[in-house]
Amino acid sequence: MADIRFDGKVAIVTGAGGGLGRQHALELARRGAKVVVNDLGGSMDGSGGSSEAAMKVVEEIKALGGEAIANGSSVTDDAGVALMVKQAMDQWGRIDILIANAGVLRDKSFSKMDMPDFEFVLNVHLMGTVKPVKAVWEIMKAQNYGRIVVTTSSSGLYGNFGQSNYGAAKLGIVGFMNTIKLEGQKNGVHVNAISPVAATRMTEGLMPPEVLEKLKPEYVTPGVIYLASDEAPTGAILTAGAGAFALSRIYETEGVYLGENGLSAEEVRDSWGQISDETGQKPYFAGGEQGQKFFRKMAGG
């Protein structure tokens, strides 16, 4: 099969000044895309800001013979996001790909976490995904083409001690994706999620060096490139790390219909073994077989 190429396409990558975002931006450029390199340039907890990191990646892309421009907007700032999109449209006249990668960490156990830290992380990850997507949405629909890759995490999918804020945001992103994938499909806008495990400044203090060496960001990027390509599926959650790739899915058990007359909490308790039985469980798709089965159960059919 032919190589995946992005000749003539325009991509925005948020949080592209380092780590995963930098690798995504560089690889898109190597494959022919024109790239807006967005990075606020703040510290890991989101404080501060500088356009230096984004400019360095732009210089790397230009050294490869590619085209790129830098943007230092915060993904939570409406005016800044609008400027980022305007720069792309003014420069190249279209936007084909959005990789929503920007993020921060403020880890603490829930008992010790202050609400401002919870809200800040939720805002950067969730609203910092929603706002760029909203800004490119009508452009992509009008083109009848778009590829959006959002960034989730195992902390959201499965939980992780000390990351209630981060986990809530990352699973919220999946819920967002699950709806807009339906709304964008008729206009050729595909939306997928990457769930990466990589050695970045967010993870460098969490694992020993020999493990981090096997978790280079460039081992995740091939999955992102595929999800941004013409052949991409829609609605997939692709886990990636150390060269391994897998799909994460939400499953629903076969369950049991208990009826409506005299329904009680005790019946739910006594049926728990059947409710939780994994035999025959299938991925849940709203509007699909499982969704229809749910509504048939509700109707008593």
Kindly tell me the burial class for residue 109, based on how many C-beta atoms sit within 10 Å of its own C-beta (0-12, 13-18, 19 or more): exposed
Q: Which long-range contacts (CB under 8 A, 24 or more apart) does 20-23 make?
A: 20/101, 20/151, 20/196, 20/198, 20/200, 20/217, 20/220, 20/221, 21/99, 21/101, 21/102, 22/57, 22/217, 23/217, 23/218, 23/220, 23/221
Please give the Cα distance from 78 to 123 (Å, whole number).
Answer: 12
Could you count the other beta carbons within 10 Å of the beta carbon of residue 229?
16
The pLDDT tens digits of the residues spanning 250-261 come to 999 999 999 988
CB 191 within 8 A of CB 148: yes
**Catalytic one among 145, 166, 219, 226?**
166
Return the ∠ at Cα 186 (arms to 226 and 83), rounded to 5°. Answer: 70
CB 28 within 8 A of CB 2: no
Closest listed residue to residue 92, CA positions, set 4, 9, 212: 9
The pLDDT tens digits of the residues spanning 82-99 come to 999 999 999 999 999 999
Going by pLDDT thresholds of 50, 70 and 90, the confidence category of residue 49 is low
Residue 215 has pLDDT above 90, yes or no: no
The pLDDT tens digits of the residues spanning 167-212 come to 999 999 999 999 999 999 999 999 999 999 865 555 555 555 666 6
Mean pLDDT (whole number) for 223-239: 97
pTM (predicted TM-score): 0.89
Closest listed residue to residue 149, CA positions, set 249, 61, 75, 223: 223
268: Cβ contacts below 8 Å, ≥ 6 apart = 258, 275
Active site annotation includes 257: no
**pLDDT at position 262, please?**
85
Residue 129 has pLDDT above 80, yes or no: yes
